[in-house]
Amino acid sequence: MNEIKVVISDVDGSLSDGGIYVFSNGVQARKFSTFDGEGVGLLKESGVDVILVSQSNATEIRKRAQWLDIPFYGGVTNKAKLLDMLLHPTMVQRAWVDDLDSVAFFGNDLSDLEAMKLCGFVGCPKDAHYSIVEYCRQGGFLSRRLGGQGAFRGFAEFIIASNEFDKES
């Protein structure tokens, strides 16, 4: 595994349990794990950038990204195209990486698969779609935890340890 410089994570089913609470006044809410949020902080402290991406553009996801002080791309229907955008500094604030071998992707559903195939490393929660689980078993990180319940934290810790090992070698 190459040194990981950027981690991109899907949100629904990856950083949340995939559930959406709808209150009688029409307001929606998602539950996020503070354990996973700490994983974001640990990655940032180790020098790894973290980006959230979702098909949803929900306010609560945007707020979560703001609290974590990380970029969020919402309303993304083609996550593989987003990866190409990250390589072109004219499309975003800066180019994060020179190539996708130093990018890791954490996802849980079929809408993540094409983007995952382009990245240098991948991971998923144990309750991901079976196609994603099988893909992660082939050399990625398959968490023992469910989405939104610490799965991302384990992925983050694995990447940090791997990056540190690479620096010592």
Residue 1 has what pLDDT? 83
Q: Is the pLDDT of residue 72 over 60?
A: yes
What sign does the dihedral 158-120-146-70 (CA atoms) show?
positive
At 89 the pLDDT is 57
* Cβ contact 94:49 at 8 Å: no
The pLDDT tens digits for 154-165 are: 999 999 999 998
| SS3 label, residue 157 | helix
Is the separation of the CB atoms in 12 and 30 below 8 Å? yes
Query: For the segment 21-69, what is each residue's pLDDT rounded down to a tens digit?
Result: 999 999 999 999 999 999 999 999 999 999 999 999 999 999 999 999 9
Share of the chain above pLDDT 70, in %: 93
Q: Where are the beta strands (DSSP E) in the chain?
A: 6-10, 21-22, 28-29, 49-53, 72-73, 103-106, 121-124, 141-142
Assess if CATH 3.30.450.20 describes domain 6-168. Answer: no
Binning pLDDT at 50, 70 and 90, where does residue 95 land? very low
Tell me how far apart the alpha carbons of residues 7 and 56 are, in angstroms, rounded to a whole number. 19
Whether pLDDT at 129 is above 70: yes
d(CA 23, CA 5): 39
pLDDT score at 98: 72
Q: Measure the CA–CA gap between 72 and 57, rounded to whole angstroms.
A: 9
